[in-house]
Structure 1
């Protein structure tokens, strides 16, 4: 079935905005690349900014689904982190432009940085900190770990791989299974570092 105009504009916007940022893409370029009348951008999204906002929501909403699937479950803190890691690999695989939007907004933030990017990043950070604290309380993790540093370190381990993927792929071609394998090995290293082996 042929894609409708709204879907075409979303797909075109994903590609162009991820490459050039919000300010680097004109309405005329968006319409031309999507094969649509520029007036349809206003019709479907209100403005170029409205299209960008809709695309950001699409890119980052899987993070909420990720955390919803893990938070509040009756599994151990270690299993929560393992589940989170598996979901990170899946999210990056299903939303390939996510990393570009994240980097772009960090380097050159638009007015959407606060309501979108920071909202999702803050939720991930809180989830990791609370899971680490839970692990300390129940004796799974060492008491002397700094949960803030550990949360940032884990998030970095999970996401840096995908940020550098466009470069590393030139030397070490991979696929979604390799991505998942890397993420799980990285989280295993992290968990070995924070685990309480009975010394505390």
Structure 2
């Protein structure tokens, strides 16, 4: 346990433990008992702080998506060109994922094997993330940075897919690509830059 986790409150410990467990397993594959054991707190505190496993799972998903929503707010506030914003946003997303490469499984497992959270999560969270990237592409087309025969939502999906595939297959990519530990991120940067270069003027 690192110093941050050691000094965390019971609620924070529960949230950290639940995030790791839900990232490794589906919602139905994680028990309150496992969360309590990993967090080192009494299982009754999970109900006390979060009202049960469903509410805790919802909070975990919201916390993960907030990472991206906060990036959107930060990048949006910058007075730079749309394409520069897009590049900065993509880089920032990649940096967030590098810190916790397996947590992306949380979000995309929800898409592949939906739970009770899926509809509201996609409409209220994931759509905002995709919409922001699509809008940046639209603006970059308008100012001539990106070719005008490109569909903004298609470009956004392609960029998202490159990033998601990399982190969903992070360990396998390292082995298959014979990357030295830590250098596999160079592949991601090259893949993103290659695609962006192919659609820019």
The two structures have a TM-score, normalised by structure 2, of: 0.85
For residue 181 of structure 2, what is the aligned residue in structure 1? 174
For residue 91 of structure 1, what is the aligned residue in structure 2? 96
Is 1:194 matched up with 2:199?
A: yes
| 1:146-194: CA deviation from partner (whole Å, max 9, x where unpaired) | 222222111112221111102223343432x642x33332232122211
- The 2-side partners of 1:33 and 1:163 are apart by 24
The correspondence for 1:120, drawn from 125, 131, 139, is 125
- The 2-side partners of 1:31 and 1:73 are apart by 42
The Cα shift of 1:24 comes to: 1.5
For residue 141 of structure 1, what is the aligned residue in structure 2? 146
Per the alignment, do residues 75 and 145 of structure 1 end up closer, same or farther by CA in structure 2, a change over 3 Å counting? same
Aligned-residue CA RMSD (Å):
2.1
Higher relative contact order (CA 8 A, sep 6+): 1
For residue 66 of structure 1, what is the aligned residue in structure 2? 71
Query: Residue 82 of structure 1 contacts residue 187 of structure 1 at CA under 8 Å; is this kept in 2?
Result: no
Q: Larger deviation: 93-102 or 124-133?
A: 93-102
For residue 25 of structure 2, what is the aligned residue in structure 1? 20
- The 1-side partners of 2:35 and 2:77 are apart by 41
The Cα shift of 1:45 comes to: 0.8
Query: Residue 17 of structure 2 contacts residue 38 of structure 2 at CA under 8 Å; is this kept in 1?
Result: yes
Identify unmatched segments of 5+ residues in structure 2.
1-5
- The 1-side partners of 2:22 and 2:74 are apart by 29
Query: Residue 19 of structure 2 contacts residue 103 of structure 2 at CA under 8 Å; is this kept in 1?
Result: no
| 1:32-56: CA deviation from partner (whole Å, max 9, x where unpaired) | 3333222111111111112212211
Per the alignment, do residues 2 and 78 of structure 1 end up closer, same or farther by CA in structure 2, a change over 3 Å counting? closer
Per the alignment, do residues 173 and 13 of structure 1 end up closer, same or farther by CA in structure 2, a change over 3 Å counting? farther
